Amino acid sequence: MRDPFLLIFFIGLVGCSVGPDYKPPHISLPDKWHSDWKQETSNDGMTAFDSWWKAFEDPVLEGLVEEGSLENLDLKMAVARLEESRALKSGASGALYPDIQSTTSAGRSKQGFITGNRKVTSFEAGFDASWELDLFGKNYRQWEGEAAFEGQRFYELEDVLVSVRAEIAKQYISYREAQKQLKITQRAIKAQKKLLDLLESLQEAGVVSNVELSEGRALYTDYQSRVPVLNSDLKRAQYALEVLLGRNPGSLSEVLEDELPISPSLERINLDVPIRVISRRPDVRAAEQALKVATALQGVAIADLYPNFTIAGFYGLQDSNLFPSGAIWRFAADGALSLFDFGRIRSKIDTADAQKTQALSAYELAVLKALEEVENALTAYGNSTKEKKLLRESLKAREQNLRLLKSKYEAGLTSFQDVLKSQLSFYESDLAVIRTESKQFKNLVALYKALG
């Protein structure tokens, strides 16, 4: 260009991107957690939860979580979606640069008016290039949106990973719970059978009534009816685990066969302040990336209000039997500006504005739901911990009562019937502890999941 001022103006336009730049939204968060369960809030950060399942000290659970982290089909779909977004970003970045192609053409024609019915053979080869000048940043904003979309897919993948690991742990806990309950129930059935046999003998001797005998039979049948339910619970949890690991039904039978204790010890949880916990949750970060996408697409829509410029050129060789061979080149430039579109561009801008408003609300909702999830998990885990402690005290008292009754029975001071009833009461208390312990462990998993 001969005019240096025109060159400066052109360079300035190249660096211009219309539309708003992304600014992180301001969200008001509490300084500390509302739950009053025993916790420590530290400004220095908290222990990493990348391997929280190892706190259960269960090698089978560790193996299942590690396998699920690689083989889960939801995870594989999330990985494919991430790869798709990367391909889209790569395609969008290509629009920022010229399109250069190698072209070749050959032809034969008869042109009688000029050449006196002479046949003309021609050949042309070279490089053809075109470039849409991104003077107002439309293509850049499009790339910016695709880059943010890639980030969104990445954090969605992280969120799926967190959910899959938590679900594997919950189903494993459900399996162990049913396994323990089945074992205690079978003991209770044996004890109730002894009591029923004793009642039948006493009824024949006229010591107990038919009502007491019928009650004993009903209780015995009730315990027996629990067995198929617990077996169904076992299989349901096993099949759920196998789906989570991408396995066929029944493939985990040997892995889960041995009963292993789950006993994480966690009396106090060190929590970071809410703003740090929430900001590292993958679902919240994915929602923020979606807001970045919507912001970038505003710029794409606004750019349609401005002119569009394209330059094109060709350089190559031409040869024919009519003219001597030699180098040829062509250069062209064109521009276009929409003058009357009857509101189509404005409609796109309004649509983009509305989509950004939706994305902002979705982000704010994700933050609130994250706060709710953490608070609920803290409360549930704290209360289930208290409940288990009380039930363990009750179980200990029933165990002591059973020992006393056995001693009295051996001394001839009480009946065997009283001993069996106390034993059944002990089993019921033991089952209640197992259920509450399982609930506590699941609440702990939910807490780890809520913390991201």
Q: What is the 3-state secondary structure (H, E, C) of 86-107?
A: HHHHHHHHHCCCCEEEEEEEEE
pLDDT at 5 over 90: no
Residue 282's pLDDT is what?
96
Report how many domains make up the chain: 1
Bridge-based pairing of strands 308-320 and 118-133 is antiparallel
213 Cβ neighbours under 8 A, 6+ residues apart: 199, 200, 203
Nearest one of 153, 52, 60, 67 to 446, comparing CA atoms: 52
Least confident of 120-124, 332-336, 357-361: 120-124
Residue 126 is part of which domain span?
16-450
pLDDT-derived band at 101 (thresholds 50, 70, 90) equals confident
Residue 11's pLDDT is what?
47
**Which has more confidence, 238 or 424?**
238
pLDDT-derived band at 3 (thresholds 50, 70, 90) equals low
* Domain membership flag for residue 3: no
Residue 41's pLDDT is what?
45
Residue 78 to residue 204: CA distance in whole angstroms: 69
Q: At what angle do helices 210-244 and 138-204 cross, to 10 degrees?
A: 160
441-452 pLDDT tens trace: 999 999 999 998
Residue 236 to residue 250: CA distance in whole angstroms: 11
Does residue 147 contact residue 82 with C-beta atoms inside 8 Å? no
22-33 pLDDT tens trace: 999 988 888 888
* Domain membership flag for residue 253: yes
Does residue 224 contact residue 189 with C-beta atoms inside 8 Å? yes
Does residue 125 contact residue 327 with C-beta atoms inside 8 Å? no
- Cross-strand bridge partners of residue 111: 118
Residue 228's pLDDT is what?
95
**Which has more confidence, 138 or 327?**
138
The domain that contains 190 carries what CATH number? Answer: 1.20.1600.10
* Domain membership flag for residue 1: no
Residue 267, classified by CB atoms within 10 Å of its CB into exposed (0-12), middle (13-18) or buried (19+), is: exposed
DSSP H/E element including 21: none
Average predicted confidence (pLDDT) for the chain: 86
* Domain membership flag for residue 294: yes
pLDDT at 223 over 50: yes
* Domain membership flag for residue 270: yes
pLDDT-derived band at 12 (thresholds 50, 70, 90) equals very low
Q: How many CA atoms lie within 13 A of 424 on its CB side?
A: 19
Q: What is the DSSP string of 133-197?
A: E-TTSHHHHHHHHHHHHHHHHHHHHHHHHHHHHHHHHHHHHHHHHHHHHHHHHHHHHHHHHHHHH
Per-residue DSSP letter, 313: E
* Domain membership flag for residue 343: yes
**Which has more confidence, 234 or 268?**
234
**Which has more confidence, 75 or 4?**
75
Identify the sign of the CA torsion 214, 219, 222, 227: negative
pLDDT-derived band at 363 (thresholds 50, 70, 90) equals very high
Residue 421's pLDDT is what?
86
* Domain membership flag for residue 183: yes
CA 218 to chain centre: 47
Q: Coil, strand, or helix at residue 326?
A: strand
Least confident of 97-101, 240-244, 439-443: 97-101
* Domain membership flag for residue 7: no
pLDDT at 47 over 50: no
- Helix (H) and strand (E) counts for the chain? 11, 6
Least confident of 26-30, 33-37, 338-342, 411-415: 33-37
Please state, as a whole number, how many other Cβ atoms lie within 10 Å of the Cβ of residue 419: 22
pTM comes to 0.85
